[in-house]
Amino acid sequence: MDQGWAGLLAGVAGLLGALIGGLAAVRGARIGAETNAAAVRQQVQDGALVAHQQWVRQERQKACLKVMDTYTALNAQVVQRRDQLRGGTALDDASMDAIQQTVMDLVGTCSHLALLGPTAIQITGGVLRDKAVSLADTMRIWNEDLPEQPEVEMNYWAQLLHEEGLEMKQAYQEFLRTSQSVLLGHAPSS
């Protein structure tokens, strides 16, 4: 009978060991699954963050290139029309509308950049935008007053427009430096 009790006790001990081992295996599997799920969640979050950062960089690049293209178009229009004004010929409505539309395109693109950041691009884009608006306003006022202007006033307006053109060019060059720095990763891009 001692052997019977010993076998029964060994069987109960084996059953308890299997039960405890099974519970430990289930707990281990649960911990492993939770750890795996947390790692997958973190990997998805990291991937989404990288994808978002890449999207922002691409949008910044597109907007900066559009600012460059729009500035080039505006500068060409301004130079051509400035020479026309200096020659004493008033600009027609279509010419003034074209300049105004190009300025509005530049304003819109700079506003888009303001949403994308960083602060350095917001600031330099805002300065460029303001200089372009001021230059277009000066051209419009000069054009409206052109028929009644004596030679002295013509020189004043020509000098004013020249100075504003230089200021716009300087603002554009600063925008280019800042954009290059941000797009190439030399400046904080938050």
pLDDT tens track for 67-83: 999 999 999 999 999 88
Q: How many residues does the chain have?
A: 190
109: CB partners within 8 A, 6+ apart: 63, 66, 67, 70
Beta carbons of 116 and 59 less than 8 angstroms apart: yes
Residue 189 pLDDT greater than 70, yes or no: no
182: CB partners within 8 A, 6+ apart: 60, 118, 120, 121, 189
Residue 169 pLDDT greater than 90, yes or no: yes
Give the amino acid at 174: E
* C-beta atoms surrounding 178 within 10 Å: 21
Residue range 105-155, pLDDT digits in tens: 999 999 888 888 899 999 999 999 999 999 999 999 888 887 777 777 888
Q: What percent of the chain has pLDDT over 70?
A: 96
| Residue 35: predicted pLDDT | 81
How far apart, in Å, are the Cα atoms of 4 and each of 9, 16, 188? 8, 18, 79
